[in-house]
């Protein structure tokens, strides 16, 4: 019973994130911008990386909890394969968003990035190493 639940969990996640070969062969891209279907339209690389890391952390926690219950060797192998495949798929999706250059087309994000870099330069001045910080 538990093994079937784990297999169903793997199947649902694989279908949603198009992780399996069968799902990858079907249409897994948005027609509007060519990104994977699980990413919202207009995604930028900063937001995508943030949420993909959070998703992967949640999946890892869930897999670790189920593996700790020692359900069966098949379930453990399937869950580890799911995680490895998800990592590769998320990395591929992030690279596609990065290459598409979503950050460069969003002026609000450019302003935020510029402000962050300015604040960062004040917090970590490269020229004034060994001197007192500015007040």
Instruction: Write out the two tokens for 87.
Output: 């990592």
pLDDT of residue 52: 93
Q: How far is CA 118 from the centre of its chain?
A: 27
Domain ranges of the chain: 2-100
Average pLDDT value for residue range 37-53: 88
DSSP string, 45-81: HHHHHHHHHHHHHHHHHHHHHHHHTT--HHHHHHHHH
Which residue has better confidence, 113 or 19? 19
Return the sign of the alpha-carbon dihedral for residues 42, 46, 49, 52. Answer: negative
Q: How far is CA 114 from the centre of its chain?
A: 24
Question: Distance (Å, rounded) from C-alpha 43 to C-alpha 84?
Answer: 23
Question: Distance (Å, rounded) from C-alpha 30 to C-alpha 129?
Answer: 48
Question: pLDDT of 68-106, one tens digit each?
Answer: 999 889 999 999 999 999 999 999 999 988 888 745 445
The model's confidence at residue 130, banded by pLDDT at 50, 70 and 90, is very low
Instruction: Write out the two tokens for 100.
Output: 């598409």
Give this prediction's pTM. Answer: 0.65
pLDDT of residue 132: 47
Choose among 11, 10, 18, 2: nearest CA to 96.
Answer: 18
Question: Distance (Å, rounded) from C-alpha 33 to C-alpha 40?
Answer: 10
């Amino acid at each position: 019973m538990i093994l079937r639940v784990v297999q169903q969990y793997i199947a649902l996640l694989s279908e949603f994130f198009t992780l399996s070969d069968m799902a990858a062969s079907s249409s897994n891209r948005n027609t509007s911008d060519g990104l994977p279907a699980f990413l919202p339209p207009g995604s930028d690389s900063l937001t995508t990386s943030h949420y993909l890391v959070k998703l992967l952390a949640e999946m890892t926690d869930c897999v670790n909890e189920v593996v700790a219950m020692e359900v069966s060797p098949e379930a453990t192998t399937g869950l580890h394969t799911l995680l490895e495949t998800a990592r590769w798929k998320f990395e591929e999706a992030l690279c596609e968003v990065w290459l598409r250059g979503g950050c460069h087309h969003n002026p609000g994000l450019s302003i935020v990035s510029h402000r962050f870099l300015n604040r960062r330069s004040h917090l970590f001045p490269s020229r004034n190493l060994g001197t007192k910080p500015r007040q």
